Homo-oligomer: A and B are copies of this chain.
Amino acid sequence: MKKSLGIKTTGSLTPVWIIGSYDAQYKANIMAVAWGGFCCSKPPMVTISLRKATYTYDCIMSRKAYTVNIPSVDQLVAADYVGIYSGRNHNKFEDCSLTEVKSDLVDAPIVKEFPVVIECRLERTVELGYHTMFVGEIADVKVDDTALDADGKPDIAKIQPIVYSAGCSVYHAVGDFLGKAYDIGKKVT
């Protein structure tokens, strides 16, 4: 028996993504976004959603670029911190003892200590309501060499990313390997 919870953003997970950007004076900032994901394979694109009130909104509008930095479970305290406080009043790189590295491809900073970064050029914005979508064209994906598997692909067990539960405001680790896509489903027939 299903229970109606109403018109809200609840019931699903979202990956924890930390957005890096520069303001007009090249101060680097990082912010946690609740809403984000890949949105196109060719050209490879991601989308993140931001409120106009955020510092990062102004930064991306001014630089037309951002990075998606993916923290590990042992970096959760910093990842949550950068979603609580605004870059207008805080230098969040310093507060969290994180190192900013300028991307050589897009006009945005990378978090050196996080295992994955997706570098993006702003492709367009889409006005939705409280949030604006920032569609970014991927310029590169960089992963710590210690977080790659034997085939050179990102290894989830080594990255140890965090998922966020929308509506419950809790974080979880990623658990057991369950199966291969486009493969385990063939058991149906």
User: Which residues of A are interface residues toward B (Cβ below 8 A)?
Assistant: 1-15, 17, 34-47, 49, 68, 70, 73, 76-84, 95-96, 116-118, 126, 128-131, 133, 135, 138-145, 148-149, 152-156, 159, 161-189
A37-B36, A128-B135 known; A13-B176 Cβ under 8 A: no
Residues in B neighbouring A83, C-beta threshold 8 A: 181-182, 185
Establish whether residues A118 and B77, one from each chain, have CB atoms under 8 Å apart when the complex forms: no
**Minimum CB distance partner of A36 in chain B:** B37
30 A-B contacts (beta carbon < 8 Å): A1-B144, A3-B143, A7-B139, A9-B44, A9-B45, A10-B153, A11-B118, A12-B15, A12-B116, A13-B15, A14-B37, A14-B38, A36-B37, A39-B128, A40-B129, A40-B131, A42-B131, A76-B179, A77-B184, A77-B188, A80-B181, A80-B183, A81-B185, A84-B182, A153-B167, A170-B180, A171-B178, A171-B181, A173-B174, A175-B175
18 more A-B residue pairs beyond the given contacts A3-B143, A13-B174, A73-B178, with a C-beta to C-beta distance below 8 A: A1-B145, A5-B142, A8-B44, A9-B46, A14-B38, A36-B37, A37-B47, A39-B131, A41-B130, A43-B129, A77-B187, A81-B185, A141-B167, A149-B168, A163-B163, A164-B181, A172-B176, A172-B178
Establish whether residues B153 and A116, one from each chain, have CB atoms under 8 Å apart when the complex forms: no
